[in-house]
Amino acid sequence: AQTVTQSQPEMSVQEAETVTLSCTYDTSESDYYLFWYKQPPSRQMILVIRQEAYKQQNATENRFSVNFQKAAKSFSLKISDSQLGDAAMYFCAYRSGWANFGNEKLTFGTGTRLTIIP
Amino acid sequence: EADIYQTPRYLVIGTGKKITLECSQTMGHDKMYWYQQDPGMELHLIHYSYGVNSTEKGDLSSESTVSRIRTEHFPLTLESARPSHTSQYLCASSEGQGGNIQYFGAGTRLSVL
């Protein structure tokens, strides 16, 4: 079974600075997807960024980028120019690349609570 | 924000009551999911559906049941609520053909006294 580990329960960063959230995972599969989801207080969880394991290039979405190290099974999220609206719980998640019945569920880490200091 | 809605947002009830948590999506997604999330904890899949009349249990054992009579609707029912059911319940949906992004509702926070 796949597991996802987020070793930082809480992180804080000064507004406008850069912060990196860590995520490691364990799998025997070669084809899979990795995600970072953001869950603001009392609001919907939304997708921040997605990485396909067969792609070498790290995904980037505006101020959000990942450092995907497949051999090390590491998938960190970098947030540049942090803004107050970035304050949230961030969850790393894994999904198998095999689109068989039952494989499309997400396996989540325990989350990292990010605080932005004005 | 995604077009997936959960009601109620908050629910406080007494032990033994029957409750139904509603989840609806207007995106025409075939696949829908229910997750349970305890405070400060990761999400655990408790039910999923691949389409109408298709439901399966997830990784975390749950006393709840689900139904999928219409594509857009995926309600979760607890026949007899207990304090151990106190948690947040999140509903999600994704596309049926090759899609792998799950869209989440805002959640229902359930407290059973």
Q: What is the CATH number of the domain that holds B105?
A: 2.60.40.10
- Put simply, whether B90 touches A (Cβ < 8 Å) is yes
Give me the percent of chain B exceeding a pLDDT of 70: 94
Query: Which residues in chain A are contacts of B59 at CB distance < 8 A?
Result: 105
Domains of chain A: 3-117 (2.60.40.10)
Domain count, chain B: 1
Which of B50, B100, B107 lies closest to A101 in CB terms?
Answer: B50
Question: Could you give the percent of chain B with pLDDT greater than 90?
Answer: 70
Minimum CA–CA partner of A39 in chain B? B106
Compute the average pLDDT of residues A23-41: 93
Which residues span the domain enclosing B81?
4-112
Give the position of tokens 């999330």.
Answer: B37
For B42, the closest of A43, A91, A102 (CB atoms) is A91
pLDDT of residue A23: 98
- The two structure tokens encoding residue B103: 């869209």
pLDDT at A69: 95
